[in-house]
Amino acid sequence: MQFRLFSFAIIVLNCMEYSQCQTQAHRWRRGKRATGYGAYPSCRGCSKCSEVNGCSTCHPKLFLFLRREGMREFGECLHACPSAYYGTRGPGVNMCSRCRIENCESCFSKDFCTKCKPGFYLHKGRCFEKCPEGFAPLDDIMECGEGCEVGQWSEWGTCTRRNKTCGFKWGLETRTRHIVKKPPKDTIPCPTIAESRRCKMATRHCRRGPGKHRTKEPKKKANRQRLRLRAQNQHSDHLALGRASQ
């Protein structure tokens, strides 16, 4: 009976020593992996690194990316800069700098975008929600292509209504422009080439010209002559009746 208890105790002690050895080996392997990147696992690719601020310098060909975490900046060494950043190589350090163009996803430099965020069109290194005038949106590549080119607006025309420049208080005035260059595709529409706006007429009441007054004079004369002839006829009839009665 005692021999069995002694054998069981030896087996338990051996198991405990084996588990401790396994734990120490696991810690040694984990520490070895960490020391392969420096003092901390986040220092991968760094030449200089600290636990608080991360990388301060990187190995050659890697870019130093500084991200803000609250009140501090944390450095990382990357093979390529993240979205909305571009890489610049210098003699001392290669840096990731932020794109300064609004709604830009990736850029070549701080003033030239190469890809816009979803819903925006790329045009000459800038991002637009709608393509500028004279350019058409190409939805398949989300860029602005050459469209219909139009000339300058003309001056506003005369304020009219029903082909008249008087007789009304309000009217419409119009201006136009011509198509200088037609679009390469018929599916690309041209911008508006004519537009109108409400205007107030300079003269509300139309003046009657001298010709209109002259047209009334012959009518008055004809009426007078007609009345005069009627009176003469009535007088002649009256004289004839008087003679007949005698």
pLDDT digits (tens, 9 = 90+) for 7-33: 555 554 555 554 454 444 444 344 333
Higher-pLDDT residue of 56 and 10 is 56
Q: Are residues 124 and 164 in the same domain?
A: no
Q: Is residue 140 part of a domain?
A: yes
- Give me the number of domains the chain comprises: 3
Residue 27 counted as domain residue: no
**Pair (110, 89) in one structural domain:** no
Domain of residue 179, CATH code: 2.20.100
Residues 107 and 126 in one domain: yes
Q: Which structural domain range is residue 83 located in? A: 37-98
Q: Are residues 83 and 116 in the same domain?
A: no
Q: Decide which of 80, 98, 116 is a domain's last residue.
A: 98
Complete DSSP assignment for the chain? -HHHHHHHHHHHHHHHHHHHHHHHHHHHHHHHHHHTTSSSGGGTTEEEEETTTEEEEE-TTPEEEEEEETTEEEEEEESS--TTEEEE--SS--EEEE--STTEEEEEETTEEEEEPTT-EEETTEEESSPPTTEEEETTTTEEEE--EE---------BBTTBSSS-SEEEEEEE--EEE--SSTTSPPPPSEEEEEEE-S-SSPPPPHHHHHHHHHHHHHHHHHHHHHHHHHHHHHHHHHHHH-
Domain identity same for 142 and 153: no
Task: Answer yes or no: do 93 and 107 share one domain.
Answer: no
Say if 227 falls within a structural domain.
no
Do the domain assignments include residue 168?
Answer: yes
Helix (H) or strand (E) holding 55: strand 54-58
User: CATH no. for residue 69?
Assistant: 2.10.220.10
Does 110 share its domain with 136?
yes
pLDDT of residue 40: 52
In a domain, 4, yes or no: no
Q: Are residues 141 and 155 in the same domain?
A: no
Amino acid identity of residue 20, one-letter, is Q
Task: Report yes or no on 186 lying in a domain.
Answer: yes
CB 156 within 8 A of CB 174: yes
CA–CA dist 96, 201 (Å, integer): 63
Query: Residue 214 domain-assigned?
Result: no
Task: Looking at the structure, tell me whether residues 72 and 117 fall in a common domain.
Answer: no
pLDDT tens, position by position, 152-204: 999 999 999 888 888 888 999 999 998 887 776 666 677 788 999 999 888 77
Is the CA virtual torsion 75, 81, 83, 86 positive or negative? positive
Proportion of the chain above pLDDT 70, given as a percent: 72
Query: Do 153 and 198 fall within a single domain?
Result: yes
Q: Is residue 122 part of a domain?
A: yes
- 32-52, pLDDT tens digit by residue? 333 334 445 567 888 888 888
Q: Based on the domain organization, do 158 and 198 belong to the same domain?
A: yes
